[in-house]
Structure 1
Amino acid sequence: MQQHTKLTVVIFMTLVVPCILGYNQEKENFIALMKLLNTPQKPERYFSPVDVKFPVSEQPTVTEFNWKSCGPSDPISADVVILPDPLVIPGNISVEANATLKVDVVAPVKVSLTIKKKVLVWLPIPCIDGVGSCVYDDVCEMLDTMFPPSQPCPAPLATYNLPCHCPFKAGTYTLPKSDVVVEDTGIPSWLSSGDYEIKVVAQDSKGSELACFSATLSLK
């Protein structure tokens, strides 16, 4: 009985304790990361010599909103312009977009979203409650949840007869310059002032890439 007890203690110390310590360390690292991400940062475009207390990252400074395609041969291409620059959230945002679809886009459409915030270096924002650097198995299903098919699409999409549900037919879609009001409700805590890098990759049901976009922007 005594030997059995000793064996149990040995197993606990060698297997369970390291797991607990590892979990605690991982939890502490996560808390420290979120604390950094939640801290407002001055966009680097406004840095002065006084602000540079640490070596500046080798990555280029975000000087303006930039949107580009990272999949030039993908069947979906788009250009997007967002103002003001830097963005102020919550607040009024002006959006203008043009998209070309060479194929019909049908469900399911898998989307992988990667978001980074610059805090001296680019820090990845984790996926928390479906917000952040997340993978969405089917954005078509998400659109149906956000915008019930029984109801009209929201403005400004409805204003210009633009669809908000799959399937999206091949063709050209244009959203003229439109104002959108972003409320402060539901905004994640990490979405504070600073520089951000975003990458979006969309795939069809066979895993073929439909689109890839990347953007850099600043929040003030």
Structure 2
Amino acid sequence: MLAFFLATIALVGAQKNGQFDQHYQFGNLHQPIDKAVIFDCGSNPDRAIRNPKFVFSRDDLELPGNFTIIDAEVEVAKPVPRPLYGRIDAWRTIFLFGGAASTIQLGCFGLTGKDFGIGSCDYGELCGLLDLNAPVNNITGAPTCWTEAIDLGIPEDQCTCEGISPKVYSLSNWQKTVDLTDLESGVLTFLAQGDYELRLTATDASGAEQACIGIRVPVKEYEDPNATGGWLFGRKKRSAKLL
């Protein structure tokens, strides 16, 4: 499951109410997004993964730049089934003169040297991806797990879907910095300034929904007042400095 969540970078502020739930209509914005929101869009009452809650250092995503995950929490309501297939659907909206919204669903943009992309992409069987990409202990050579997963309480020697036991996983005062200052130019062009909606879904072998996480986030370009030349997002390109 970690490959599914780590494959998508998002800034989010936890919120759950009648507006942001399984009835949310993706790709249908009528006004600009004023702050980032993550919510559970799941409709299957027997889904394995639910109730994501995150606190981040800011309410938007600035590229290039970085942000900090302050707190994180997600509930695993039952054993995670295998196989588990992941998909992300993404929409971008810009608001034209007069306030009219123009929305497109993004295609899948491949990343150089990576076997996954960004945008609206299928991620394949997530448990298998987790198995293939689990780190190895440099001393013993035995399979281990990511520090983040161990901090969440997943046993070091069980970095598999089967090792994710049902419970609420949380990290308080995590203060995890995510650095996006070195993104390749193609990604920056693909992730142009605008308002983004993402739907992260995971389904089992029968097609039943096991997770649905919705994200709304405004994306803007980092502006370096000392940089000139070039164009990015239809504006002057800025240098990739830390925030």
Residue matched to 1:127: 108
Task: Check the 8 A contact 2:86/2:123 in 1, yes or no.
Answer: yes
Alpha-carbon distance in structure 2 between the residues aligned to 1:58 and 1:136: 26
Q: Is the 8 A contact 2:108 2:120 kept in 1?
A: yes
1:164-203 correspondence to structure 2 within 5 Å: 165-167=160-162, 168-176=164-172, 177-183=174-180, 184-185=182-183, 188-189=187-188, 190-203=190-203
Q: Distance in 2 between matches of 1:181 and 1:128?
A: 21
Greater per-residue strand proportion: 2
TM-aligned CA deviation for residue 61 of structure 1? 1.9
SS at match of 1:213: strand
For residues 44-70 of structure 1, the C-alpha deviation after alignment (integer angstroms, 9 at most, x for no partner) is xxxxxxxxxxxxx86132010111111
* RMSD (Å), alpha carbons: 2.5
Residue 188 of structure 1 deviates from its aligned partner by 2.0
Quick check: 2:88–2:200 contact (8 Å CA) kept in 1? yes
State the distance in 1 between where 2:191 and 2:29 align.
Answer: 23
The structure having more radius of gyration, on CA atoms, is: 1
Q: Which residue of the partner structure matches residue 224 of structure 2?
A: none
Identify the match of residue 117 of structure 1 among 92, 96, 99. Answer: 92
Preserved contact between residue 126 and residue 133 of structure 1 (Cα < 8 Å) = yes
In the TM superposition, what is the alpha-carbon distance from 1:144 to its structure 2 partner?
A: 3.0
SS of the equivalent of 1:84 reads coil
Picking from 127, 133, 136, the partner of 2:123 is 136
Structure 2 length as normaliser, TM-score?
0.58
Separation in 2 of the partners of 1:62 and 1:165?
A: 36
- Secondary structure at the counterpart of residue 145 of structure 1: helix
Fraction of identical pairs, as percent = 25
* Aligned-partner residue type, residue 79 of structure 2: D
- Map Cα deviations across residues 14-53 of structure 1 (whole Å, 9 max, x no partner): xxxxxxxxxxxxxxxxxxxxxxxxxxxxxxxxxxxxxxxx
Cα gap change, 1:146 to 1:60, in 2 (>3 Å):
farther
Greater helix share, 1 or 2? 1
1:87 aligns with 2:84: no
Residue-pair matches, total? 164
Give structure 2 stretches of 5+ with no counterpart.
1-27, 96-101, 111-115, 137-141, 221-243
For normalisation by structure 1, the TM-score amounts to 0.64
